Chain A
Amino acid sequence: MENKLKINLLNLSFITIKLLVTFLLISLIILLLGGSPLEVMESIIYGAFGKPQKIVKTLLIWAPIALASLALLITFSAGLWNIGIEGQIIAGSVGATIIARSALGESIASPYIQIFIGLIFGGLWGLLCGFLRVKFNVHEIFGGLGLDFVASGLIVYLIIGPWKRAGIASTSGTDIFPDASWLPTLGKYNFQIIPLILVIASFIIIFILIKYTNLGLRLRATGINPSSTSRYKINSSLYFYYAFAIAGALAGIAGVVQAAGFHHKLVPAISGGYGFLSILIVLASSRNPVITMILSFFFASMIAGGSQLQLRLDLHSSMISIILSSIVLIWLVMRSPYLNNMFNKITSRLNLEK
């Protein structure tokens, strides 16, 4: 028992060391970019949580990132690299825009219809990637990347073509959605409860799916070794479709939040690059659902806070993405088998000494 405690303590101190090293290296990068690490961090924290309306905004940024990360948990479980997630987010936002621009856009039910249609659009866009993989043996990385390009092309076409603003065709976006098509807000800080509910509900569903259902277990089994599945009467193609449909649907909802909750219109960069960011988040959290949620919240706060950098410290706001990607990179190095081996050696020695 005492030994176990010792190992847990050691484990904890090991993680602390890792975090500390990550922190130091990030400070170094900020210094190299010409900023002061403490100022930058203070400014990020203030930017994310300094005032109630800032917290509201941080939560709104968090929702699509969390949804996309949950989507990727499913595809990664099935051993799939869902690079097509960006396209799936875009598909969801296009679905939302169709509803917002239709007669339904004036109805109070509009946000909910948008969510439903966005879910369908995203799911179908995901299935398309699965279809290419299963039927034509196109690897999902290439298929997904291709579909991302198609989606970004499509959205630009829609914005400057059929959905252009009256009189001008500009890539700055479509007309603002009618008021009824905005996700409803609460209180004087315009707090949006729906994205938060969507995130929590999706998290519970995905968590149960992965931990307690046959579907989740079979997705994982398919991901680990598709050639063993036939023995267990598992149709691996079917599970690839399931994974892409579920992931696409979640990404589609993220797209709706972006369109109807954040921008209130369709813009070319509607996905905000959150799909690719989520890939990093899920990789860095070793596919653990809880850590994924925490990490996605951390990243969302960085993004929300990062927009302050330019205003307060006169640093370019792109600095935040440099910091974010450096964190992931450093963290992945920290998790390398080499370092883990070293750690295991120390703990096993402790074990043997008993």
Chain B
Amino acid sequence: MEIKFKNITKSFGNILANKDINFSISSGKIHALLGENGAGKSTLVKILSGHYRADDGEIIVGEEKLELGSTKDSIKNGIGILAQDPLDFSNLNVLESFIVGSKNTNPFINIKGIKKNILEQFKKYKINVNPEDQIRDLSVGERQQVELIRLLFNGTKIIILDEPTNGFSLEQKQLVFEVLKSLNKVGFIIILVSHKLDEVLDLCQEATILKRGEIVSTVQLPCPSDQIIDLMFDSKFSAKANNKKENSKNSNLGSILLNFSKKPKSIQYYDQDINFPCGKTTGVIGLQGSGADQFIRDCFSGKINITIKNENSDNFIPEKYFYYTPSDRLEKGLFNELKIYEHVAISRFSDSQIIDWKKVEKKSTQLIDDFNIKGEKNTMASELSGGNQQKLMLALIPEEIGLLLMEQPTRGLDVQSASFIWRKIKTRSNSDYGSIFSTTDIEEVWAYSDYIMCFSGNSITHFSDKSEINKNEIPYLISGVNSNGK
């Protein structure tokens, strides 16, 4: 079987997301779509899955021409997408979501049978989810896993994975990759959208590289990763993180003290308080659903008491200076139908009742420039790519001193955007009260934190200065294999 893309073109407002895309994908080879954020990968696969309607061009699946912009026709042709942000029914439970998506037209549903079937699949792929659980209560990672099983369950023959592995643990990822490889052997077409080169090299045999909406090249894998990086990015990019220790200007402010006396129910916290000097960064690492993200949310919502302690006093930080960025960028961080400059007005010009739009627009242009956001001041948040949404969220944080609370700030971002975002965070974090971020990536927590906190099974398994922990211990601390950390 083969999928042919012919002259696919798609624009959002003024942004041309895909321009004259021509290439084909065949079964037998797992195909990767590579490119930096905003290169047009997600748009392209969403056109294939029918979520977006291309402005021009056609797609041919096997012998048939696909009806563009119809998810129904895409599903009929066996196309299933595992999206960056899960596209599931958050108001149903797992079992119901399987039934809703199924092609079975028999009005009498064999619920018991389906449930048994699901449980078998879950067991096979080591997914620890109860079919009765509400989908909205699952973590992003668990939702992704359930979605993949649901796609297989519905007879999907063409599986698109749109940067899904952020939510998988290492073991689950390997399991999923094994499954994908064996599916590929029996004739499934598998398309992986990713920016993680190691993943792509591990799984795929062929890669198409996109840049600014156009195809740069299709390469056979394996091939040297330098070559691919050269194709993906404009300038030669070194992936080495800038990790030189800088002295904090703000350590004389005192230290940040986290106190768990309110005992939030969702998570088991430490018995003793946690503190770290002002101006430092604490990285909270845990697998998806481990409670690391919840920890950040609890800090923001005041379920954890946060004070600044110095010799003579103990001060609360005014709520105004808690700057929070959620990992669900569109669902909890931005307003999808508001434009960039309207976001700027809400977050940066809230002091006066009457808005001076001229000033706002000037500031917006400056921020777009500063944060290298690929969009214009009247681009809607929903039209931005994930990476640019993240940049926008950071750009909206006022310059004033504050406490940064960031849930997975680089989730789903390519190396270049991620390093850009970290550069931006680091330029301000020294002069801030402090910053706390969560991540699922050990490399990231190691590269950017001064203090490291580990989460496993909704409890804190470790907290210390980075110098007091060995990088090799972290996988154990977050997988719960050895929860007392030796």
- Residues of A at the B interface (CB closer than 8 Å) are 208, 212-215, 217-218, 220-221, 224-225, 227-228, 230-234, 341, 345, 348-349, 352
Contact = CB atoms under 8 A, between A and B. Distances in A.
Contacts of B11: 348
Nearest to B357: A212
A228 B332 contact: yes
Interface string B312-350: 000000011000111000011111111000100111011
B355 A228 contact: no
Contact of A224 (B53, B300, B338): B338
Contacts of B345: 214, 217
A214 B353 contact: yes
A183 to B, nearest CB: 32
B354 interface: yes
B56 interface: yes
Contact of A231 (B55, B324, B342): B324
Contact of B335 (A215, A221, A233, A348): A221
A167 to B, nearest CB: 54
Interface in B90-144: none
30 contacts: A208-B354, A213-B353, A213-B354, A213-B355, A214-B345, A214-B346, A214-B350, A214-B355, A215-B353, A218-B346, A221-B335, A221-B342, A224-B335, A224-B336, A224-B338, A225-B336, A227-B331, A227-B332, A228-B331, A228-B332, A228-B333, A230-B301, A231-B324, A231-B325, A232-B346, A233-B319, A341-B53, A348-B55, A348-B56, A349-B56
A231 B333 contact: yes
B347 A232 contact: yes
Contacts of A231: 324-326, 332-333
Given A220-B338, A232-B346, A233-B320, A225 B353 contact: no
B227 interface: no
Interface of B: 9, 11, 53, 55-56, 69, 300-301, 319-320, 324-326, 331-338, 342, 345-347, 349-350, 352-355, 357
Contacts of B333: 228, 231
A345 to B, nearest CB: 7
A228 B334 contact: yes
A349 B9 CA distance: 11
A212 B332 contact: no
A220 B55 CA distance: 30
A232 B322 CA distance: 10
A345 B338 contact: no
| Pairs of residues from A and B, 10 with the lowest C-beta to C-beta distance, nearest first | A224-B335, A221-B335, A224-B337, A225-B335, A348-B55, A227-B332, A232-B346, A231-B324, A228-B332, A213-B353
Contacts of A348: 11, 55-56
Contacts of B324: 230-231
Contacts of A221: 335, 338, 342, 346
Contacts of A234: 346
A212 B350 CA distance: 12
Given A212-B354, A228-B334, 10 more contacts: A208-B354, A212-B355, A221-B338, A225-B336, A227-B332, A231-B332, A233-B350, A341-B53, A348-B11, A348-B56
Contacts of B319: 233
A217 B346 contact: yes
Given A233-B319, A348-B55, A352-B56, A214 B349 contact: yes
Nearest to B324: A231
A224 B382 CA distance: 12
Contacts of B301: 230
B332 A217 contact: no
Contacts of A218: 346
Contacts of A233: 319-320, 350
A349 B353 CA distance: 42
Given A221-B346, A232-B346, A214 B338 contact: no
B135 to A, nearest CB: 16
A78 B56 CA distance: 36
Contacts of A345: 55
A77 B209 CA distance: 42
A349 B56 CA distance: 8
A327 to B, nearest CB: 27
- Which of A218, A228, A345 gathers most chain B CB within 10 Å? A228
Contacts of B342: 217, 220-221
A218 B332 CA distance: 15
Nearest to B349: A214
A233 B320 CA distance: 7
A214 B334 CA distance: 16
A231 B393 CA distance: 10
Contacts of A215: 353
Contacts of A352: 9, 55-56
Nearest to B328: A227
B355 A217 contact: yes
A217 B331 CA distance: 18
Nearest to B347: A232
Contacts of B332: 227-228, 231
Contacts of B325: 231
A212 B301 CA distance: 30
Nearest to B325: A231
Nearest to B351: A214
Nearest to A345: B55
Contacts of B353: 213-215
Q: Which of A208, A233, A352 has the most CB of B within 10 A?
A: A233
Contacts of A228: 331-335
Contacts of A230: 300-301, 324
Contacts of B300: 230
A325 B9 CA distance: 40
A341 B52 CA distance: 12
A219 to B, nearest CB: 11
Contacts of B326: 231
A69 B405 CA distance: 42
A208 B353 CA distance: 11
Most buried by B among A221, A234, A348, A352: A221
A206 to B, nearest CB: 15
A79 to B, nearest CB: 10
A227 B333 CA distance: 8
A310 to B, nearest CB: 45
Contacts of B335: 220-221, 224-225, 228
A213 B342 CA distance: 11
A175 to B, nearest CB: 44
Nearest to A233: B320
Contacts of A341: 53, 69
Contacts of B55: 345, 348, 352
